[in-house]
Amino acid sequence: MTTTIPTLQLNDGRTIPQLGFGVFKVDPAETERIVTEALEAGYRHIDTAAIYRNEEGVGRAIAASGIPRDELFITTKLWNDRRGAAETRAAMGESLEKLGLDHVDLYLIHWPAPANGSVVETWETFAELRSEGLTTSIGVSNFDERFLPEVLGTGIVPAIDQIELHPQFQQRAATALAAEHDIKIEAWGPLGQGKVDYSATVIGEIAERLGVSWAQVTLAWHLAAGRIVFPKSNRRERMVENLAAAEVTLSADDIAAIDALDQGAAGRVSADPADAN
Ligand code: NAD
């Protein structure tokens, strides 16, 4: 059975597959094989970044797949040491060359990196890159409620904000601000990056009752909230399992029970954007 992947409409009119495949910490030497397996499993949305150093492998897998370009959704990200118009343009060109593509579907500023100065000129350049067709949509990553206002102040509204978000770290303030502007949230680390034992929480109980895995319950909870996710796994059986989360339906009570796992900022498992440069 092939899973139908739901899509969402972005505030720029484009559509995005709500469930994709992330390649953070996928070894560059293994990336082509792993992304090929993900495409074979049915994924059509791949999330990479310049700093992952595996854009070439993603590009080779895309080229070898024979899948029509317009059936794929490819995201990459600008690293923190590239700021300002000239650097942003150069970095975008390097990413496209490595990916072997003439455009990406989504280009993100990877982190606010406040120690590196304002992102305004960089963000205005993103809008130019979009007008020029080098990226179809533009967005930001790790811009929580402390950092999103600087971007919004330009009058150019991101389509996406990609932030750490999982049951014990639900980012309610950032999510509320994004919703005011119809910015869709992409949840990175949707499974807690394997650093949280969610099977020992109510998620494990729900999974047992429904006869599915804790990872599928967690992903289904994200999808039900209208978030976009791209869990990472090097293992084919988990790629298939994670994609099948699109078939899992949770009750309102189950969703409320998972919502109650939020610990606010104490639930964060990775870097605080205020410190990450
Ligand atoms: P994740 O929550 O997807 O966790 C990945 C880990 O979960 C795997 O290494 C594996 O150990 C485990 N896992 C995966 N599937 C499983 C399953 N079915 N059952 C049990 N365990 C399973 O974390 P992530 O990879 O950090 O995040 C997903 C993607 O988000 C990344 O690959 C990347 O594309 C993106 N990301 C973005 C940023 C950013 O700063 N913008 C940061 C981190 C990740």
Q: pLDDT tens for residues 79-95? A: 999 999 999 999 999 99
Sign, CA dihedral 89-90-93-98, equals negative
∠ Cα 246 106 121 (to 5°): 145
pLDDT digit string, tens, across residues 28-72: 999 999 999 999 999 999 999 999 999 999 999 999 999 999 999
pLDDT tier at 116 (50, 70, 90 boundaries)?
very high
| Residue nearest (by alpha carbon) to ligand 1 atom 30 | 188
pLDDT tier at 231 (50, 70, 90 boundaries)?
very high
pLDDT tier at 143 (50, 70, 90 boundaries)?
very high
220 touches 231 (CB < 8 A): no
Measured CA to CA, the distance from residue 22 to residue 74 in angstroms comes to 10
Annotated catalytic residue 52: yes
Question: Is 90 exceeded by the pLDDT of residue 277?
Answer: no
Query: Is the minimum distance from the CB of 203 to ligand 1 under 6 angstroms?
Result: no
Tell me which of 188, 196, 241 to substitute to probe ligand 1's pocket, judged by most ligand atoms within 8 Å of the beta carbon: 188
39 or 3, higher pLDDT: 39
Whole-prediction pTM: 0.98
Burial class (CB in 10 A: 0-12, 13-18, 19+), 66: exposed
Return the percentage of the chain with pLDDT > 70, whole number: 99
How do strand 21-22 and strand 45-47 relate by DSSP bridges? parallel
Provide φ and ψ at 230, rounded to 5°. Answer: -145, 75
Question: Is 70 exceeded by the pLDDT of residue 97?
Answer: yes
Burial class (CB in 10 A: 0-12, 13-18, 19+), 211: exposed
Question: Is 70 exceeded by the pLDDT of residue 1?
Answer: no
111 touches 276 (CB < 8 A): yes
Expressed in angstroms and rounded, the spacing between residue 42 Cα and the centre of ligand 1 is 18
Burial pattern 5-28, b for ≥16 Cβ within 10 A else e, equals bebeebeeeeebbbbbbbbeebee
* pLDDT for residue 3: 81
Query: Is the minimum distance from the CB of 254 to ligand 1 under 6 angstroms?
Result: no
Average pLDDT of the residues of the chain: 97
